[in-house]
Structure 1
Amino acid sequence: MTDQRQSEAVEQEILRRIARGEKPSAEERPVYAAYVERNRLEGVSDWNRWASDKVFPPQWDERTAAMATMIPDAVKSVADFGCGTMALRTLLAEHVTYVPIDIVARGADTVVMDLNAPVLPSLPQAGIAFLGGVMEYIIDLPRLIRALCQGYSMVVCSYVGAAGKAETTAKRRSDGWVNDFRISEIIAMFEDHDARAVALKSFHAHSLMLFSISHRR
């Protein structure tokens, strides 16, 4: 087996285990980071990872629960981007319409869309957009934020801000993340599109943010 084929075989084995919900070892993280960076440069999503239903650890549901408390009581419909296990559905009042969205179907009612597609799909209508653990995986995040601010009056989202250049090319890629913004930069991108942060919370390393958007006529 040539060195290239051996490297490809190692990468494929790592990807198979990630799809089963396992984390790469410290020795394997650079290999996965290189794979993620290659996807970023090619402008494609990590289909291998997200096609699986086994990649959603319980702590992600805990983050969803923390974010759900930020949804205003008056909201009548929620667009749940990256819905995964649809944990948010069980946390909403009965009168709230739930719109699950993901890169693959998680159920019969899932709106399937790839937020890293060359042309961003039309976003479903709802009273608020909900993005828990999504924005780190978006290659052109400014494009998505612009579309969110154009399509919704409120956005609740989470993000783990970049700590510095050393982390950018190493740890963030090995976590599967394809962008590297500070929280101040995330807020500024929303503000550039007439949004203002009306609530900010912390959940472990995540910043939870609720934005209200003023649509000019």
Structure 2
Amino acid sequence: MVRKDRAQAQVRKTDVTRWSDPASLEAAWDARAELAAQFIPAGARVLDLGCGKMSLRRFLPPGASYRGCDLVAREADTVVCDFNAGEFPAEAATDADIITLLGVLEYIPDSDAFFAHLRAAKRDVVLSYCATDLTGSVDRLSLGWLTHFSFLGLAKLFDRHGFQITATMPVDQLQILMRLTPVDRMPQVNPSKVAVISYNDVGNFGDRLGYHMINSLLPGDALVDHLTFRTLDRARDAYDLIVLGIGNSIYEPLLTDDLMKVLARGKAKVGIFGTQYRELISRAKLDRLIDRLDTWFARYEDDVLMYGRGRSNVEHLGDWLIDQFPMATPVVDEQLNVGDEILKNLPLDRVIQDIQRHKKVFSSRLHPLLCALTSAETVAYSEQPAGDTEIVSGKFRSMLIDIFGRTYPEKAFFAVDRDAVSRYKLRVHGNVAKVESRLQEMLRNVATAA
């Protein structure tokens, strides 16, 4: 390193004589430039502040372009600036994609004014610095250094001007490289606490899809506990929002006191489910559940008519999982039979693709049949009985009436009305968007009340 008179450094102005002399530009700094190039994307336009020998240009990735800026012209298109005189290449900075600052910040005493210019450019910055944490034995003034930031001091400087450190790399024992990204200041908020209660722990095709559906509708910063009807004992003491169901079915064995106790812990509560085996459901228990919900987004019109009549907190959603199935054209003539093997945790995307390849599909599971309706020419189904009884789930009938306005006999193939399926998809898609808005609104209201 070049040694300087400490008295010269104490003047706290740019040493024009030193930086005009090419001999002052050390060859050792090339290694730092080579490392800095690892932070530069291919194709980027680079503005190198305090460019010196312009070593960085040699190491840039393919497609990157380079422009230097320094106290003196290093070549014809060098932007000439004295940062310590308040000068800054604002236009060149705006034209750049990324700004580099290698071995320069040590020589800019009014760092806040300089960083105000950088922040106005709204560009990522790659800089190096020798923090005091690493240079305890070094006489900084004898090296001409005019700033003396610790790592904490650097962090405060960056934060004051709206920069976030996104990547770092040591150069040697004394200095470190950092990439800074300008960020908008966001108000400090506490993430919402949300519980989702479902059967997401089984291999059921529909429940696994519903898990992804609800995650896509909740705020990105929400802290989500996915509980099942078997793990209600893991619930927190309080939640901002509890979501009961992910488009699945609720039936008698799930209507427990433990479920009601957990629901009582939510400031806001919604249900996203349908019903099945209705003959076995205790009406009093289901009524008590619906009373607890701010809104029940019911899967079927049958649910609304049977349990929501006269209520203001029940809305017909439709089977939202149809949002996961695009309208498709089948290519395979061979009949596809779907049964309990769908419970084996098969990859969801491959299952959907396989179902939609077939022109003729028979299913004893609800949501594979729903998937088939978006592609197949003919389909058939078989109902799910409750144990050894003659009571069936009823959900196939409810789904078909929702989509086609009528049901079809089980185990008999029928032609799929694709226009009816398309209309249903559009209607449900709009309803899902409304659910997302309502969930966001509920969480905002809870936060405001708090």
Fold-level similarity (TM above 0.5): yes
Structure-1-length-normalised TM-score: 0.76
Query: Whose relative contact order is higher, 1 or 2, with alpha carbons under 8 Å and at least 6 apart?
Result: 1
TM-score normalized with structure 2 length? 0.38
Secondary structure of 2:39's counterpart equals coil
User: Matched residue of 1:177: which SS?
Assistant: coil
Check the 8 A contact 1:127/1:152 in 2, yes or no. no
CA, structure 1 residues 163+215, in 2 after alignment: closer, same or farther (shift >3 Å)? closer
Kindly indicate whether the alpha-carbon contact (under 8 Å) linking 2:2 and 2:143 is maintained by their aligned counterparts in 1: no
Q: 1:121 aligns with which of 63, 88, 91?
A: 88
CA distance in 2, matches of 1:121, 1:86: 18
Query: What do residues 180-207 of structure 1 show as CA deviations (whole Å, max 9, x unaligned)?
Result: 1112211221122222111011111111
CA distance in 2, matches of 1:147, 1:175: 26
Does the residue aligned with 1:109 lie in a helix, a strand or coil?
A: coil
Structure 1 residues 165 and 95: CA distance shift in structure 2, 3 A: closer
| Unaligned residue ranges in structure 1 (runs of 5+) | 1-21
Q: Give the one of 174, 183, 191 matched to 1:214.
A: 183
Aligned mates of 1:87, 1:116 — CA distance in 2: 23
Equivalents in 2 of 1:157, 1:134: separation in Å?
Answer: 8
Change (3 A) 1:56 1:189: same
Amino acid at match of 1:132: L
Render the CA deviation track for 1:78-123: whole Å, top value 9, x for unaligned.
1101111111111123522211000001111110000000x33342
Taking a change above 3 Å as real, the CA distance of residues 166 and 183 of structure 1, as seen in their structure-2 partners, is closer
SS of match in other structure, 1:116? helix
After TM superposition, which residue ranges in structure 1, 4 or more long, deviate above 6 angstroms? Answer: 164-167
Aligned equivalent of 2:132: 162
Q: Partner of 2:8 in structure 1?
A: 35
Match of 2:146 among 157, 163, 178: 178
Cα displacement (A) at 1:163: 3.9
Q: How does 1:18-97 map to 2 (within 5 A)?
A: 23-24=2-3, 32-37=5-10, 39-40=11-12, 44-73=13-42, 76-97=44-65
Where do 5+ consecutive residues of structure 2 fail to align? 186-450
> Hey, what's the Cα distance between the residues in 1 that align with 2:99 and 2:135?
30
Secondary structure, aligned partner of 2:140: helix
Taking a change above 3 Å as real, the CA distance of residues 185 and 72 of structure 1, as seen in their structure-2 partners, is farther
CA contact (8 A) 2:109 2:147 kept: yes
Residue correspondences, number: 181
2:111 maps to 1:141: yes
User: Do the aligned partners of 1:132 and 1:158 also contact (CA within 8 Å) in 2?
Assistant: yes
User: Identity rate of aligned residues, in percent?
Assistant: 32
Contact 1:200 1:210 (C-alpha < 8 Å) held by counterparts: yes
- Structure 1 stretch displaced more, 80-89 or 184-193: 184-193
CA RMSD of superposed structures (Å): 2.3
One-letter amino acid matched to 1:134: V
Paired residue for 1:153? 123
Pair 166,151 (structure 1): closer, same or farther in 2 beyond 3 Å: same
Deviation for aligned residue 1:54: 1.1
Distance in 2 between the 1:67 and 1:187 partners?
A: 19
What is the alpha-carbon distance in structure 1 between the residues aligned to residue 182 and residue 9 of structure 2? 32
Secondary structure of the 1:79 match is strand
